[in-house]
Amino acid sequence: TAELLSVTHYLLKDSLEEFCPPILRRIEHEMDKRIIDNYINRTDMWWMGYTADWVNNWSIWILSNILTAFIFMPVEREKLLRGVEKLMTEASFYYDCCLADGGCDEGPDYWMVSNGKFFEFCDLIYAATKGKVNFLKDEKAKKICSTYQSFYIGNGYKTSFGDCLSKIGGNYTIIYRIGEKLKNKNLCDFAVQMKKDLIQLKLNYLDQL
């Protein structure tokens, strides 16, 4: 919700200011109270990594959304710096818990809200700092971002474990972005093939109806 509201505020600010200014003021108030200040002043939530020996996808999923809020909302500079520093510290706790091969123990359906969110976090930091902070130079970080390809077995299906389905979802868009960012043509080609396979899978399903 915080991610959605912050991006909405950023993209539609002028239109909302003209249409109904109180909407913007309410978003700013609630975001400051519920997300910005609340996050900066707390370290007791387990997903932050200070009180737990291990964190899972909940950590980077939440941190990525909060980072979006800090960057896209009109946050005071002091709060912004404190918040981003805290976010990067907690993202490092998630990174330390990731497997060396970049795999996701919870299963491939969790990739988008774990490894995929890790990429979004790194990519947003890179963009916000104009390339001065680039976590994606790190080899383990690259593996975390690109590991979905190892799940795929073709024709719209993937290996499945945990509580995951065998059919693929729509992760090809972000996988293509990862391939572009890492200058990995193989990953870009894989994303294109994934999209084609997913479309064919849906067409096959419709033919059976």
Nearest to 58, CA basis, from 90, 35, 84: 90
d(CA 209, CA 206): 5
pLDDT band at 165; cut points 50, 70, 90: confident
pLDDT of residue 81: 95
**Please, what is the Cα angle at 121 between 116 and 124, to 5 degrees?**
120
pLDDT of residue 118: 97
Averaged pLDDT score across all residues of the chain: 93
Say whether pLDDT at 7 is over 90: yes
pTM of the predicted model, to two decimals?
A: 0.92
Say whether pLDDT at 106 is over 90: no
For 195-208, what is the mean pLDDT?
89
Helix (H) or strand (E) holding 159: none
Say whether pLDDT at 108 is over 90: no
